[in-house]
Amino acid sequence: MRILSGKDAAEQAMKLAARSSRFDEVETKVQRIINDVRVRGDAALREYAQQWDGLGEKDSLLVPQSQIRAALKSSSPKFRSSLKLAATNIRRFCQLQKPKEWKRSFNGITLGQLVRPLDSVGCYIPGGRHPLVSTLLMTVIPAQVAGIKNIRVVSPRPSKEVLAAAAMLGVHEFYRIGGAQAIAALAYGTKSIPRVDKIVGPGNVYVTAAKKLVSFDCAIDMLAGPTEVVVVSHNGKPAYIASDLVAQAEHDPDAVSIFITTSARLADAVSKAVEELAQDNNLAKQSLQNSGVILIAASRQEAMEWANQIAPEHISIAKSDVSRIQNAGSVFVGDFSPQAGGDYASGPNHVLPTAGVARFRGGLSVLDYVKIITVQELSEKGLYGIGSAVEFLAETEGLKAHAESIRVRCGNG
């Protein structure tokens, strides 16, 4: 990893803070795919799935429940117990996170909020190099805790492990489609796949571009790019720090791995530890060569300022720095909180904002699956209490009918 200090480090921090996810190169192709699915529906979906995802001519787009159940039945006891532990912790966290309904009264005015689940959600599970069992847990369990009735999972070439996880969670709609065409199907619906209210889950650049293009017609969670990791430490263990940097780097050749410290000695030690850990991991090695950097700050305050400017997806820090966090997708505190723990089983969601999006939103949560509906009930006394002010403000804005709706009730009409 490159080691930068002084002005070079500060400039690199600013450059990282200004990064963005760009989809321009694929948007034209993705738009054609979306339009094709909207016009030809299932026929287009089958053609794309046969061309890119190995769907057989006689295979159904909907994975049969018998196949899903068989995947769980044939899985190992260790896999099932690990899956159950992760699911239990994720579900517990989601239940604690779920917003509550409330009602309060004062001066003749009763206010409150209702919490209602969306009717339907589409969960995208990437295919790619690895069976992302954890992503199925992270997208489906919050939907279940929220109370969503119609949960539709899509994934190209679903592995036995992913199907087993779907069986354990009781998923009834699992479609073997992926890419931009799957996003189009979820957003607009086909004969086989009803449209959904919202699409969640990460994917490659084609999936993310498709989510961007359908977002005016169907809600989405966020536009997630390649994974990112920032570690801020001044006297930590080089092996621990390096292991987190390499772990996130193996996700994607474009993953961003950053270590920020005030110690030149620790910077050198971490650089050597990273090189050693990544030597047999070609993907991580490529990622670290492309986007790995160590920044030496002049002070702890500057180190945290850089971290907040970067607004990373994952950040590891000391407990004493938690209060200084302003922008991050998920925070990992102390030596024994590896980011991989959050990727799988500690409880919080691993679908997180990238490319600086953590400046204005956190990771996927139960709140993404519900609506907060406000409720207000005014008594005669309550309306009289605010009537004069409302009438005056309405007149100020030139909305005479608004003002009249107050006067007619308050006896001044």
**For residue range 195-247, what is the model confidence (pLDDT) as tens digits?**
999 999 999 999 999 999 999 999 999 998 889 999 999 999 999 999 999 99
pLDDT of residue 24: 80
The mean per-residue pLDDT over the stretch 378-405 comes to 96
- Rg of the chain, C-alpha, whole Å: 25
Phi, psi dihedral angles at 352 (to 5 degrees): -130, 155
The mean per-residue pLDDT over the stretch 354-364 comes to 95
Instruction: For domain 24-105+116-220, give the CATH superfamily.
Output: Nitrogenase molybdenum iron protein domain (3.40.50.1980)
pLDDT of residue 411: 78
pLDDT band at 64 (very low <50, low <70, confident <90, very high): very high
On the question of pLDDT at 129 being above 90, the answer is no
pLDDT of residue 412: 60
The mean per-residue pLDDT over the stretch 247-253 comes to 90
The mean per-residue pLDDT over the stretch 322-331 comes to 97
pLDDT band at 290 (very low <50, low <70, confident <90, very high): confident
pLDDT of residue 127: 85
DSSP structure string for 113-131: EEEEE-SEEEEE---SSS-
Q: At what angle do helices 77-97 and 133-146 cross, to 10 degrees?
A: 40
The mean per-residue pLDDT over the stretch 175-182 comes to 96
Architecture of domain 2-21+225-347: 3-Layer(aba) Sandwich (3.40)
On the question of pLDDT at 372 being above 80, the answer is yes
pLDDT of residue 145: 98
Catalytic residue status for 172: no
- Which of 194, 266, 197, 198 shows the shortest CA–CA distance to 233? 266
Out of 314, 350, 397, 402, the active site residue is 314
Please enumerate, as own/partner, the contacts of 383-388 that have beta carbons within 8 Å and a separation of 24 or more. 383/108, 383/409, 383/410, 384/108, 384/410, 385/107, 385/108, 385/109, 386/109
pLDDT band at 351 (very low <50, low <70, confident <90, very high): very high
Domains 2-21+225-347 and 24-105+116-220 in one fold: yes
On the question of pLDDT at 413 being above 60, the answer is no
pLDDT > 90: percent of the chain: 88
Out of 313, 380, 395, 402, the active site residue is 313
The mean per-residue pLDDT over the stretch 9-22 comes to 86
On the question of pLDDT at 382 being above 80, the answer is yes
pLDDT of residue 252: 84
Rounded Cα gap, residues 408 and 147, in angstroms: 42
Q: What is the residue extent of each domain of the chain?
A: 2-21+225-347, 24-105+116-220, 379-410
pLDDT of residue 181: 97
* Average pLDDT in the chain: 95
On the question of pLDDT at 378 being above 90, the answer is yes
The mean per-residue pLDDT over the stretch 241-262 comes to 93
On the question of pLDDT at 358 being above 90, the answer is yes
In this structure, are residues 242 and 266 in contact, taking their beta carbons and an 8 Å threshold? Answer: no
- Which of 81, 250, 98 shows the shortest CA–CA distance to 165? 81
Residue type, 62: L
The mean per-residue pLDDT over the stretch 172-194 comes to 97
On the question of pLDDT at 156 being above 80, the answer is yes
Rounded Cα gap, residues 258 and 249, in angstroms: 10
pLDDT of residue 131: 75
Catalytic residue status for 313: yes
pLDDT 10s digits, 82-104: 999 999 999 999 999 999 999 99
